[in-house]
Amino acid sequence: MEVIISVATSLDGYIDDSTTQRLKLSSPEDWDDVLKLRCECDAILVGAGTLRIDNPSLVVKSDEERLKRVKNGLDSDIIKVSLTASGCVSREMRFFTEGNGTKILFVTDGVDTSSVDDLCEVVSLKSITAENIVNELSNRGFKRLLVEGGSNILTMFFNENMVDKLRLAIAPFFVGDSKAPRFVQDAIFFANKDNRMKLINVRQLGDMAVMEYGR
Ligand SMILES: NC(=O)c1ccc[n+]([C@@H]2O[C@H](COP(=O)([O-])OP(=O)(O)OC[C@H]3O[C@@H](n4cnc5c(N)ncnc54)[C@H](OP(=O)(O)O)[C@@H]3O)[C@@H](O)[C@H]2O)c1
């Protein structure tokens, strides 16, 4: 299964600010392109932190897009995936309430999911790694997983070398607040000074610079 990371950052590498309001980084043109990419993927993954902070719906927006997905051999709705070790998720989250596609929640063994287990498929594992998420989803026949964040999840996928492509969109402003979440946290990365990623494409979408990298 191909793993694609999609992330938008500020010029200084932040993916949000530290306020309770969601920081808008994408231009309308970039956002349209992200929605298009979502439509080409079997599943989309964000961590429970992002569910709690942004409460994203992560759904396919139109019947036209659903039809296109079916023509391309995908489920009409994108499959939503999240993970938690604390079980701190609530049934009111848009992750659970919006969209007709399957919702999969990876949890570590012993976590109480009784408040949401009628709304999603719970996959309980002794310990959750990017590798065992990818294995589990590959076994279901998924060909493409889009991972959108946040910092914790992006760090885990890069640290485990479980990334095939990176779509990095940079907004033309600074956040300048070290309390805000960065693209990644401290870790050892397969892409480092001795092993550079391959720059595949550079585009301008509105005022965003969008780079695509491969391994
Ligand atoms: N700009 C962008 O493109 C973009 C995209 C998405 C998100 N974001 C931003 O990212 C920020 C959130 O990032 P974040 O790092 O706080 O949260 P996150 O990466 O979305 O989620 C982290 C959470 O996922 C769960 N988790 C992570 N690894 C796990 C493991 N191995 N086993 C079990 N559970 C695991 C834990 O949930 P529990 O705490 O429940 O155990 C952990 O707290 C938000 O500010 C959001 O706006 C930005």
Ligand 1 binding pocket mutation candidate from 6, 11, 15, 156 (most atoms within 8 A of CB): 15
Residue 189 located in a structural domain: no
Is residue 120 a contact partner of residue 104, using CB atoms and an 8 Å limit? yes
Residue 185 located in a structural domain: no
Residue 102 located in a structural domain: yes
pTM score, two decimals? 0.97
pLDDT at 86: 97
Ligand 1 binding pocket mutation candidate from 4, 5, 12, 16 (most atoms within 8 A of CB): 16
pLDDT at 9: 98
Alpha-carbon span 35 to 62, nearest angstrom: 10
Residue 69 located in a structural domain: yes
Which of these, 127, 157, 123, lies nearest to 140 by C-alpha position?
123
Alpha-carbon span 170 to 207, nearest angstrom: 9
Residue 194 located in a structural domain: no
Is residue 33 a contact partner of residue 26, using CB atoms and an 8 Å limit? no
Residue nearest to atom 34 of ligand 1 (CA): 84
pLDDT at 110: 95
pLDDT at 168: 98
Alpha-carbon span 47 to 80, nearest angstrom: 11
Q: How many domains does the chain have?
A: 1
Residue 142 located in a structural domain: yes
Which of these, 58, 113, 110, lies nearest to 81 by C-alpha position?
58
Q: What is the CATH number of the domain that holds 109?
A: 3.40.430.10
What is the extent of the structural domain holding 72? Answer: 2-6+19-165
Residue 40, CB half-sphere, CA atoms under 13 Å: how many? 10
Residue 45 located in a structural domain: yes
Residue 209 located in a structural domain: no
pLDDT at 167: 98
Q: What is the pLDDT of residues 24-43, one digit of tens each?
A: 999 999 999 999 999 999 99
Q: Which residues of the chain have pLDDT under 70?
A: none
